[in-house]
Structure 1
Amino acid sequence: MAHSAIRWVIKQYQDDIFIMSNKQSHTFEKPFVTEDGATIPDPTIAYQTWGKLNPERDNVILVCHALTGNTSVDKWFKGIFGPNNALDPKKHFIICPNVLGSCYGSSGPKSINPETGEPYRANFPKVTIRDIVRSQQQLLDELNINGIKLVIGGSMGGMQALEWCITDERPKSAVLIGMGEKHSPWAIGISHTQRQAIYNDPNWNDGFYSEENPPKDGLALARMIAMNSYRHPSDFDKKFGRRVQDEQSQYEVESYLNYQGQKLVNRFDAVSYVRLTEAMDSHDIRRSRPRIQETLSALTIPITVVGIDSDMLYPAEECRELANLLPNGRYEEISSPHGHDAFLIEFGQLNSIVKSLQSELSEQAV
């Protein structure tokens, strides 16, 4: 084999080693106590990492996922993940924890309650965004992570990233996408209607349903409601129009929503959906913080808040207002017809925004 070919094989192997994911979980020795005072014994946080920690253990990018997301950043953030992108495992140690209350490995409603030997279901306590972040902070403490170059998240992930900046000294920069300083009444109302859809499913049984008969119809309907809020009317006009599927005699948009509902039912838990929408409703940086202005004044790290011009769930104006509250806040806007979901679609624009912040920080460090 020619030397150039050998070098290419070695380089490809090294690249693959860096990009290879490492799925893990950590169970804490001490119980976790929520803001409301509920106790979760033997709390577990699942997480996934890529890349290697440097000797200082501070070359970290922390990615916070959205409502029904998981730790697989390389899949749902694939457009900004990988060599020469904003999330580059060859340059950074990338970590994504699964949130408390979810159903992808962290303690949540599907976990076994040690007191009963049965799944928690509705006995799993309510958690807040701050609870979720505190559990993540404990995980990074256990991993001896000393610094975070960047914390980034969209939607519920952005809420977590903002709380990280407020409550922890490790983040050195942040990118917050598609969210504001609080969950607005409009957003809470949409969450409420989704939960009501779940509650009204005959199989809900006050949240103590069986594994064989979960409230599938209610969860599917909740997802359909959410999908309408994640997109923009013009996006639906362009994608579906008033076209009808002949074989089903239904509008294409109806078929699309039915598909999205069923898709979520096959991978997510109904009580987790309830608990995490409740956590999103709890998001308000002013809650229980009478001296929030002093707190924000001390928050001098560069934070880029990204709005989406077609976002109906978290309008761009809310994102701009949040950026104006932050001493070193900057506002950027994604132009897209796709509504709130644009942060998982418009990767070219997002990659450019994040890399611009990273370049600025690199220049300052020289």
Structure 2
Amino acid sequence: MTGGLKYIELPDFKLKSGKVQDISVSYQIFGRALHTAPIILVNHALTGNSSVIDWWSDLIGEEKVIDTTQFTVVAFDIPGNGFDGSIDHLIFNYQDWTLFDVGSAFAKALQVLHISFIDLGLGGSIGGALLWEMLAQQPELFGTIVPIAADWKATDWVVACCHIQESILATSSKPVEVARQHAMTFYRSPQGLRYKFKRSKENTAFKVQEWLDFHGVELKKRFSLPAYRLLNQLLCSANAAIHSNESIFKAIAASQTAIEIVAIDTDGFFVADEDRRTYVLLKEERDINYHEISSIHGHDAFLIEHDQLKEVLCKVIKNRLSKTSKSICNNISSLQNA
């Protein structure tokens, strides 16, 4: 297994806003050596990072569905996410940035790595929205993209949630902790919390309150305020069709990329109905499929319902890529039929 954080420096990087600044893009490569096997790009979620074999270990690794003995897995950190712990790499002018700029930065990083084609792109939540953005900017980059629990745009609901997050980050005495507590309420679902806690208490406090406090403290340990504000800003700026009169059909018209949308039926953030609308809009003219995970866990189900996601990804790999681990696919089928 390879890995290890590496950096690509992008001096005088020009933002869509017109601002110019030096940025650093960190990345990791796992599995086969670059340019010796099919390439899979994995875009991380809001509080994720390039260490994809750690936070998505049920899916990525040796003998996993994303088999690092067969594929080259590339993962970039969104600039300014703070994963490397370097203050110099944080981005403080977060309001100048949009998800378009991250797509542009990734494009330049891919050029440095001499990557002109990616067999499969995966991304959950903001990572999936970023796949749509990259597709609109580079129509010939991907063979297939799989946006999971994501959308090509920030809906009014997403913008509203991000607006409250920004207010908390700007005014709270514990900004990251309280913002994380608020975020957990729309990353999960009422059904999931009922199943998990059943109104149980620890002494006089509800366990759900302690759970929220725990998640707030844990995120504060590994995520800085500038990084959180930037990622929140990027999330609410998502719009892959911004240069195409809000038409995703027009935005990706020049591309032949296959699209495999994966939604979650209880997702209260990137709601499944929006993905269904996108599928209906594109299905007559595009090579596109729609998959829906059934879960009580809401948006975070893409990090919880591993068996369902494995089944979808196995089918995608088997149908879309010439090299795949048939034994893994057969094992999944055997488990389902048992």
User: Normalising to structure 2: TM-score of the pair?
Assistant: 0.88
Query: Distance in 1 between the 2:291 and 2:160 partners?
Result: 27
2:75 alignment partner, one of 80, 84, 96: 96
Equivalent positions of 1:293-304 (< 5 A) are 293-304=249-260
Please tell me whether residue 244 in structure 1 is matched to residue 225 in structure 2: no
Q: Give secondary structure in 1 for the equivalent of 2:255.
A: coil
**Structure 1: which amino acid aligns with 2:231?**
L
State the partner residue of 1:305. 261
Query: Distance in 2 between the 1:284 and 1:362 partners?
Result: 28
Please tell me whether residue 52 in structure 1 is matched to residue 8 in structure 2: no
Query: Do 2:264 and 2:301's aligned partners in 1 also have CA atoms closer than 8 Å?
Result: yes
Please tell me whether residue 289 in structure 1 is matched to residue 259 in structure 2: no
Cα distance, 1:292 vs structure 2:
5.2
Q: Give secondary structure in 2 for the equivalent of 1:31.
A: strand
Query: After superposition, what is the alpha-carbon deviation per residue over 1:202-233, rounded to whole angstroms, capped at 9, x for unaligned?
Result: 5xxxxxxxxxxxxxx12111000000001110
Equivalent positions of 1:328-343 (< 5 A) are 328-343=287-302
Query: Do 2:79 and 2:91's aligned partners in 1 also have CA atoms closer than 8 Å?
Result: no
Query: Do 2:135 and 2:252's aligned partners in 1 also have CA atoms closer than 8 Å?
Result: no
Cα distance, 1:125 vs structure 2:
5.4
> In terms of mean alpha carbon deviation, does 127-136 or 252-261 score higher?
127-136
Query: Distance in 2 between the 1:100 and 1:54 partners?
Result: 22
State the partner residue of 1:15. none
State the partner residue of 2:192. 235
State the partner residue of 1:181. 152
Note closer, same or farther for the CA distance 1:364–1:219 as it changes in structure 2 (3 Å cut).
Answer: closer
Cα distance, 1:58 vs structure 2:
6.4
Query: Distance in 2 between the 1:317 and 1:220 partners?
Result: 30
Query: Do 1:101 and 1:127's aligned partners in 2 also have CA atoms closer than 8 Å?
Result: no
State the partner residue of 1:352. 311
State the partner residue of 2:329. none
**Structure 1: which amino acid aligns with 2:217?**
Q
1:316 alignment partner, one of 234, 251, 272: 272
Query: Do 1:129 and 1:282's aligned partners in 2 also have CA atoms closer than 8 Å?
Result: yes
Cα distance, 1:323 vs structure 2:
2.5
Equivalent positions of 1:82-121 (< 5 A) are 82-105=61-84, 110-111=87-88
Query: Distance in 2 between the 1:355 and 1:315 partners?
Result: 24
Cα distance, 1:284 vs structure 2:
1.5
State the partner residue of 1:34. 15
Note closer, same or farther for the CA distance 1:254–1:95 as it changes in structure 2 (3 Å cut).
Answer: same
Q: Give secondary structure in 1 for the equivalent of 2:213.
A: helix
Q: Give secondary structure in 2 for the equivalent of 1:266.
A: helix
Query: Distance in 2 between the 1:36 and 1:85 partners?
Result: 41
Note closer, same or farther for the CA distance 1:50–1:122 as it changes in structure 2 (3 Å cut).
Answer: closer
Q: Give secondary structure in 2 for the equivalent of 1:297.
A: coil
Query: Distance in 1 between the 2:134 and 2:75 partners?
Result: 13
Report how many aligned residue pairs link the two structures: 319
State the partner residue of 2:163. 192
> In terms of mean alpha carbon deviation, does 326-335 or 258-267 score higher?
326-335
**Structure 2: which amino acid aligns with 1:177?**
I
RMSD of equivalent CA atoms: 2.1
2:56 alignment partner, one of 56, 77, 80: 77
State the partner residue of 2:3. 21
Instruction: Show structure 1 runs of 4+ deviating over 4 A.
Output: none
User: Normalising to structure 1: TM-score of the pair?
Assistant: 0.82
Please tell me whether residue 263 in structure 1 is matched to residue 218 in structure 2: yes
**Structure 1: which amino acid aligns with 2:147?**
L
Q: Give secondary structure in 1 for the equivalent of 2:88.
A: coil
Note closer, same or farther for the CA distance 1:148–1:240 as it changes in structure 2 (3 Å cut).
Answer: same
> In terms of mean alpha carbon deviation, does 176-185 or 256-265 score higher?
176-185
Work out which of the two has the higher radius of gyration on C-alpha atoms and give 1 or 2.
1
Cα distance, 1:311 vs structure 2:
0.6
Query: After superposition, what is the alpha-carbon deviation per residue over 1:235-292, rounded to whole angstroms, capped at 9, x for unaligned?
Result: 111111211101xx21000000000000011110112211211111111222132375
Query: Distance in 2 between the 1:26 and 1:87 partners?
Result: 25
**Structure 2: which amino acid aligns with 1:24?**
K
Note closer, same or farther for the CA distance 1:54–1:257 as it changes in structure 2 (3 Å cut).
Answer: closer
Query: Do 2:13 and 2:21's aligned partners in 1 also have CA atoms closer than 8 Å?
Result: yes
State the partner residue of 2:281. 325
Equivalent positions of 1:199-210 (< 5 A) are 199-202=170-173
Higher strand share: 2
Query: Distance in 2 between the 1:273 and 1:97 partners?
Result: 17
Cα distance, 1:189 vs structure 2:
0.9
Query: Distance in 1 between the 2:128 and 2:201 partners?
Result: 37
Equivalent positions of 1:119-138 (< 5 A) are 122-123=92-93, 126-138=96-108
Q: Which runs of 5+ in 2 are unaligned?
A: 325-338
Cα distance, 1:315 vs structure 2:
1.2
